[in-house]
């Protein structure tokens, strides 16, 4: 039987998904399942590890059924996942000792403030490319060891294993045989030295995590292990693993230094490939490992995020009732020539790169008696593009590479008004691919390369199909004027918050 399918598992924050791709990167079937979010205390977020595994398993089995494909026809599995989320389980039983602590969870914020006060931030940045923040895995694992009765003792006796979601999925996919992770997921734990690609003894000591708990870290495109035949009906090799944003960078074929992609979801994630150079940002961007295939040189990326992207469109729909669907925002925005001088600074949860203000809050500027619903909707969409330019500008400044275009994906990249405005505001072409499920596609490509289905990355570059290019149409002067208006509005929003 010809093995020609690649099964991509995309384990996200709110849902799990399985997609079957052929070797030209075309999806044959796609199944997703949502699962429960737990908020045990304000600011805390957890997932049930068994929900993570069971929804993934269901999607995997269902996608084969829907496509009418036998497991024997799958050449390789690729995994991509929500990053940083921490799990701890017992190697004797395979049972988690606590729920998965999700990347969004702020329970270790105080511990991170202490790390900063003790001067660890600089060391963490140098070794891991990250800052001391509750997002990352290490303090979450330490919390489990410190707060689950008996956990630290069991860990010190060598009975416990830790991992991010990819490790947990692989452990279950292989019937407990494989305890591994890839470099991109490891690079988000705050325990991994991104320059040597090894777990760092100083950091393990700092976070008091025994090294016996750690998974084996290996390149994103490499052989991780065989699935247990019980799960799909036969053994299938796992050949690719990467954290979601790095998988998307790979799926967008951003293989050269200076290639950038922006994912427009709830928030926006911009990643720039910086090649063999681990660029240290002066503006609060993270330095992280990009996904690479075994035997090829390690690559790094700069990463910045916009906290409130598509979420402001949800806000217009759900809180204000100004629109009935996210896609309706496009026709409303296009019904007016501009916002009439209105700016929305959607700092609902503070401002990220490069402003870094946790206390800033959402602010509307410049309204007149003539301001309409269409102006407000347009201002919300424009704010997504302005914030993305904020991040892109500091990336270009920090890395020094010329950026000739921006590749886009994610739910809100469907909005043609937003994409056109983005091109106008960055004064560069915006390129939207035919396949916008680039996260799953990236995992599939990593698996395909490692399994030998592709010769090299050129096959991926050839597969990457442009759906539409948005060329800048606004004059440079007009674009700059509007962007300066935005920057002025952000400064005012920050000043307003600081007053009380």
> Is residue 104 a contact point for ligand ADP (CB under 6 A)?
no
Distance of CA 80 to the CA centre of its chain: 10
Cis peptide before 2 (omega within 30 of 0): no
Closer CB to ligand ADP, 258 or 411, in the complex? 411
Query: In DSSP terms, which residues pair with 198 in a beta bridge?
Result: 193
- Toward ligand ADP, which CB reaches closer, 164 or 312? 312
Q: Which of 78, 221, 304, 410 binds ligand ADP (CB under 6 A)?
A: 410
Choice from 49, 265, 275, 346 touching ligand ADP (CB under 6 A):
265
In the bound state with ligand ADP, the residue whose beta carbon lies nearer, of 245 and 287, is 245
Site string for ligand ADP, 411-440 (x = CB under 6 A): xx-xx-------------------------
311 binds ligand ADP (CB under 6 A): yes
Binding region for ligand ADP (CB under 6 A) out of 335-343, 404-412, 469-477, 483-491: 404-412
Q: How far is the CB of 327 from ligand ADP (least distance, A)?
A: 4
Alpha-carbon span 315 to 323, nearest angstrom: 10
Question: What number of chain residues touch ligand ADP (CB under 6 A)?
Answer: 15
Cα–Cα distance between 64 and 232 in angstroms, integer? Answer: 9
3-state secondary structure of 86: strand
CA dist 165 and 251 (Å) reads 20
Helices assigned H by DSSP within 191-228: 201-206
Residue 326 contacts ligand ADP per CB under 6 A: yes
End-to-end CA gap in the chain: 69
Does 310 sit near ligand ADP (CB under 6 A)?
yes
Residue in the shown chain whose Cβ atom is closest to ligand ADP: 411
Q: Are strands 160-163 and 87-90 parallel, antiparallel or unpaired?
A: antiparallel
- Of 12 and 221, the one with the shorter C-beta distance to ligand ADP is 12
Residue from 75, 87, 145, 313 binding ligand ADP (CB under 6 A) = 313
The least CB distance from residue 315 to ligand ADP, in Å, is: 9
* 266 lies in the binding site for ligand ADP (CB under 6 A): yes
Name the minimum Å distance from CB 311 to ligand ADP.
Answer: 5
Integer angstrom CA distances of residue 35 from 80, 168, 455: 17, 16, 38
Please count the other Cβ atoms lying within 10 Å of the Cβ belonging to residue 34.
11
What is the rounded CA–CA span in Å between residue 81 and residue 246? 10
Q: What's the gap between Cα 398 and its chain centre?
A: 21
326 vs 403, beta carbon nearer ligand ADP: 326
Smaller CB separation from ligand ADP, 79 or 115: 79
Pairing type for strands 237-243 and 74-81 reads: parallel
Smallest gap from Cβ 314 to ligand ADP, in A, equals 4
72, 64 in Cβ contact below 8 A?
no
Nearer to ligand ADP, 154 or 407 (CB): 407
Which contiguous run of DSSP H or E holds residue 383? Answer: helix 373-399
Site for ligand ADP, rule CB under 6 A: 265-266, 310-311, 313-314, 326-327, 329-330, 410-412, 414-415
């Amino acid at each position: 039987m010809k093995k020609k399918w690649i099964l991509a598992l995309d384990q996200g924050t709110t849902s799990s998904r399985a997609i079957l791709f052929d070797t030209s990167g075309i999806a044959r079937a796609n199944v997703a399942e949502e699962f429960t979010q737990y908020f045990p205390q304000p600011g805390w977020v957890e997932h049930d590890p068994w929900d993570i595994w069971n929804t993934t398993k269901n999607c995997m089995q269902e996608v084969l059924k829907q496509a009418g494909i036998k497991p024997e026809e799958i050449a390789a599995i690729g995994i991509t996942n929500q990053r940083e989320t921490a799990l701890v389980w017992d190697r004797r039983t395979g049972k988690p000792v606590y729920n998965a602590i999700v990347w969004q969870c702020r329970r270790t914020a105080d511990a991170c403030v202490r790390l900063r006060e003790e001067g660890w931030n600089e060391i963490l940045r140098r070794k891991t490319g990250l800052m001391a923040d509750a997002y990352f895995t290490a303090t979450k694992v330490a919390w489990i060891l410190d707060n689950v009765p008996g956990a630290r003792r069991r860990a010190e006796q060598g009975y416990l294993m830790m991992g991010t979601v990819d490790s947990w999925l692989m452990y279950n996919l292989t019937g407990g045989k494989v305890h591994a992770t890839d470099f991109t997921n490891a690079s988000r734990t705050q325990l991994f030295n991104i320059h040597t690609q090894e777990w760092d003894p100083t950091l393990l000591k700092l976070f008091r995590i025994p090294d016996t708990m750690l998974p084996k870290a290996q390149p994103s495109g490499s052989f991780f292990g065989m699935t247990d035949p019980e799960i799909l009906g036969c053994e299938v090799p796992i050949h690719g693993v990467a954290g979601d944003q790095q998988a998307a960078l790979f799926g967008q074929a951003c293989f050269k230094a200076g290639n950038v992609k922006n994912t427009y979801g709830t928030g926006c994630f911009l990643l720039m490939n910086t090649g063999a150079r681990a660029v240290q940002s002066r503006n609060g961007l993270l330095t992280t490992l990009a996904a690479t295939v075994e035997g090829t040189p390690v690559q790094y990326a700069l990463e910045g995020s916009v906290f409130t992207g598509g979420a402001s469109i949800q806000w217009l729909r759900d809180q204000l009732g100004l629109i009935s669907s996210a896609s309706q925002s496009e026709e409303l925005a296009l019904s007016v020539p501009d916002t009439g001088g209105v700016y929305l600074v959607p700092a609902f949860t503070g401002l990220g790169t490069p402003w870094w203000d946790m206390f800033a809050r959402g602010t509307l500027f410049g309204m007149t008696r003539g301001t309409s619903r269409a102006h407000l909707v347009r201002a919300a969409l424009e704010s997504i593009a302005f914030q993305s330019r904020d991040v892109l500008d500091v990336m270009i400044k920090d890395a020094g590479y010329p950026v000739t275009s921006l590749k886009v994906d994610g739910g809100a990249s469907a909005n043609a008004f937003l994409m056109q405005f983005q091109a106008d505001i960055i004064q560069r072409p915006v390129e939207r691919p035919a396949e916008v499920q680039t996260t799953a596609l990236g995992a599939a490509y990593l698996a395909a390369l490692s399994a030998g289905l592709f010769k090299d990355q050129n096959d991926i570059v050839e597969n990457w199909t442009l759906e539409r290019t948005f060329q800048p149409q606004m004059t440079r002067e007009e674009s700059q004027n509007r962007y300066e208006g935005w920057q002025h509005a952000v400064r005012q929003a920050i000043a307003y918050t600081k007053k009380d």
